[in-house]
Amino acid sequence: MEAAQPDTSTSRTTFLPFSPPSITEQEIEAVVDTLRSSWITTGPKTKAFEQEFAQYIGAKGALALNSCTAGLHVALATLDIGPGDEVITTPMTFCSSVNVIEHVGATPILADICADTLCIDPAQVEGKITPRTKAILPVHYAGHPVDMDPLLEMARKHKLAIIEDAAHAIPASYKGRMVGTMGDFASFSFYATKNMTTAEGGMLTGSPEQLERARMISLHGMNRDAWKRYTAEGSWYYEVVTPGFKYNMTDLQAAIGLVQLQRLVEMQQRRHEVVDQYNLAFSQIDALQIPVERPEVESAWHLYVLRLNLDRLKINRAQFIEEMKARQIGTSVHFIPIHLHPFYRDKYDLKPDDFPVAQAQYERVVSLPLHPGLTKDDVADVIAAVTDICEVYQC
């Protein structure tokens, strides 16, 4: 196929970023207040953030960490998953979901995805369970909850743990239950592009008993909170009972998170407005497939993943992205599947046809701008750009 020459005509004079954070004076003032306080590392604001987050989603407890990746790693370590064990997860995810399985010495086992939601397919998971399986790590792709009931039933039947990768899924719900309240653990991300941010950061939810051990593992394996050692009621004495990690969240991050949590409803409202406008426009174009939202869920709509019907276009996905860039619109691809990355491909001898659904869907997904800062004109520009490309390059 010959490479198409991008049409550089556009009404935009500035580039529209894919997903900048939504930061207001409220977050800035909260950070300044923290800088002027006695605590800038893990302290009272981190504790308050944990409590308010757990209350928001209805979790029994929460542990603030420096990333979602840290949360997944700590969850695996807390459950004593390691060499000789297997953890089933999806190929349609960011590498961190699978890297943490390698970090604890376990073996990642990939199960293909559902063609509609792009989430892990429970029917494929069941066939991957062996006597070595210790956990299932479902990823709530793009903010759409995984079909959890079949996975929870498998976990009960085979005595497996469920660790939800909820990086995209605040606030999402499945059959009336908030994501983060169904498995043994769930790990959320507050990275700069997420629905709510702390710049970098994450939250691990679970039972108070499990989180007590997770908290210790997340901070050097010490048997008391570091910040309490420097308070009036604290003690200088501590013991290291396991070789833990350095994964704690700071009060500077938590200060941002507390404000973002208060603003989450209004930010989500804007996301929904943009999704509705995209769906209305793109559902009329034969060359496009809009994302689904199953009736039993409420998606967090972290991403708007458009799928190209390539048999109705004269260009491929890479060329489509270049055409969008020429029209001053930022896009992305979520994700390059795990089985295509050299480390996993070579170590486990993985091939594209091992995961036919993930492979086929990957080749046609494009993520469009979706964030609370999008103006009416921004949304109109995205719709105009996509529509124009489809008209110019339709078969």
- Examine the domain organization and report whether 133 and 279 are in the same domain: no
Order of all β-strands in the sheet with 297-298: 177-178, 173-174, 297-298
CA angle 268-272-274, nearest 5°?
115
The backbone torsions φ and ψ at residue 35, rounded to the nearest 5 degrees and listed phi first, read -60, -30
- Examine the domain organization and report whether 298 and 247 are in the same domain: no
- Examine the domain organization and report whether 226 and 155 are in the same domain: yes
Q: List, in sequence order, every residue forming a beta bridge with 87; answer none if it has no partner.
A: 108, 135
Order of all β-strands in the sheet with 86-89: 62-65, 202-206, 185-189, 161-166, 133-137, 86-89, 107-110
pLDDT of residue 325: 98
- Examine the domain organization and report whether 221 and 270 are in the same domain: no
Q: Check if 351 is active-site.
A: no
Q: What is the span of the domain harbouring residue 372?
A: 264-392
d(CA 69, CA 85): 19
What DSSP designation does 5 have? P
Q: What is the CATH number of the domain that holds 306?
A: 3.90.1150.10
Among the three residues 229, 260, 291, which one is the final residue of a domain in this structure? 260
- Examine the domain organization and report whether 200 and 283 are in the same domain: no
- Examine the domain organization and report whether 135 and 166 are in the same domain: yes
The one-digit pLDDT tens for each residue of the chain (395 residues) are 444 444 444 579 999 999 999 999 999 999 999 999 989 999 999 999 999 999 999 999 999 999 999 999 999 999 999 999 999 999 999 999 999 999 999 999 999 999 999 999 999 999 999 999 999 999 999 999 999 999 999 999 999 999 999 999 999 999 999 999 999 999 999 999 999 999 999 999 999 999 999 999 999 998 866 556 666 667 778 889 999 999 999 999 999 999 999 999 999 999 999 999 999 999 999 999 999 999 999 999 999 999 999 999 999 999 999 999 999 999 999 999 999 999 999 999 999 999 999 999 999 999 999 999 999 999 999 999 999 999 999 99
Domains: count for the chain: 2
What DSSP designation does 200 have? S
218 neighbors 192 (Cβ within 8 angstroms): no
Among the three residues 237, 260, 283, which one is the final residue of a domain in this structure? 260
pLDDT of residue 230: 61
Q: By three-state DSSP, how is residue 314 classified?
A: coil
Residue 11 counted as domain residue? no
Q: What is the CATH number of the domain that holds 211?
A: 3.40.640.10
Q: List, in sequence order, every residue forming a beta bridge with 133; answer none if it has no partner.
A: 86
Residue 6 counted as domain residue? no
- The active-site residue, picked from 134, 159, 175, 194, is 194
- Examine the domain organization and report whether 123 and 30 are in the same domain: yes
- Examine the domain organization and report whether 219 and 323 are in the same domain: no
- Examine the domain organization and report whether 160 and 270 are in the same domain: no
- Examine the domain organization and report whether 249 and 294 are in the same domain: no
d(CA 359, CA 296): 26
pLDDT of residue 232: 67
Among the three residues 234, 260, 286, which one is the final residue of a domain in this structure? 260
Two tokens, residue 379: 């949304």
Residue 1 counted as domain residue? no
158 contact partners, CB below 8 Å, separation of at least 6: 129, 133
pLDDT of residue 286: 98
- Examine the domain organization and report whether 117 and 237 are in the same domain: yes
Residue 10 counted as domain residue? no
Residue 20 counted as domain residue? no
Residue 8 counted as domain residue? no
Give first-to-last CA distance, the chain, whole Å.
13
- Examine the domain organization and report whether 29 and 177 are in the same domain: yes
Residue 354 counted as domain residue? yes
